[in-house]
């Protein structure tokens, strides 16, 4: 079974950020499992095929590069491993201009799974940009009980 090491997760989200920066919707679509799930405060949406991802990004605002943003930088705020190949990852996205100044930020919580040669996003939900810093559940190798998870919410 493939292991989901922190370095591997970091590299995956760096590559995902590069794809976001370039507006490379095909590369973005390759980062998801199918089906996957997007959950927001008001709705849940099943992403059934790579075409769904391409459509979602095609309907979104113009690519980052056309809005004066040069790159999207990922910062892993928290990483929780319920198993060796599955992790909850909170990522803060920093949208940077050509002088590397942050112009905008947002954050998402991802459920990811390790495969032999890649990682795939299974679930994604937006969270406040300071969520990871305030809500870390697993530090180092500590694995909480169900009671400790519920009490930390």
Query: What is the SS3 assignment for 136?
Result: coil
Q: Give the Cα separation of 63 and 38 in Å (integer).
A: 20
Evaluate whether the domain defined by 6-152 bears CATH number 3.10.450.50.
yes
Q: Model pTM?
A: 0.79
The single residue listed with the structure tokens 């997760």 is: 9
Q: Give the Cα separation of 28 and 53 in Å (integer).
A: 8
Q: Give the Cα separation of 38 and 109 in Å (integer).
A: 10
Q: Give the mean model confidence (pLDDT) for residues 32-52.
A: 95
pLDDT of residue 60: 63
Yes or no: say if 38 and 44 are a contact pair by the CB < 8 Å rule. Answer: yes
Q: Which two tokens mark 72?
A: 């999207």
Residue 30 DSSP class: T
pLDDT, one tens digit per residue, over 113-134 is 999 999 999 999 999 876 545 5
pLDDT of residue 153: 27
* pLDDT surpasses 60 at 18: yes
């Amino acid at each position: 079974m493939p292991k989901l090491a922190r370095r591997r997760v970091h590299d995956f989200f760096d590559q995902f950020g590069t794809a976001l920066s370039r507006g490379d919707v095909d590369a973005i679509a390759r980062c998801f499992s199918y089906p996957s799930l997007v959950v927001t405060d008001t709705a849940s949406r099943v992403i059934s095929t790579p075409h769904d991802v391409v459509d979602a990004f095609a309907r979104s605002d113009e690519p980052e590069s056309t809005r004066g943003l040069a790159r999207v930088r990922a910062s892993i705020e928290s990483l929780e491993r319920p198993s060796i190949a599955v992790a909850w990852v909170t990522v803060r996205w920093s949208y940077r201009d050509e002088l590397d100044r942050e112009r905008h930020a947002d954050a998402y919580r991802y459920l990811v799974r390790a495969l032999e040669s890649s990682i795939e996003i299974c679930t994604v939900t937006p969270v406040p940009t300071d969520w990871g810093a305030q809500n870390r559940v697993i530090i180092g190798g500590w694995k909480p009980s169900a009671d400790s998870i519920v009490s930390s919410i």
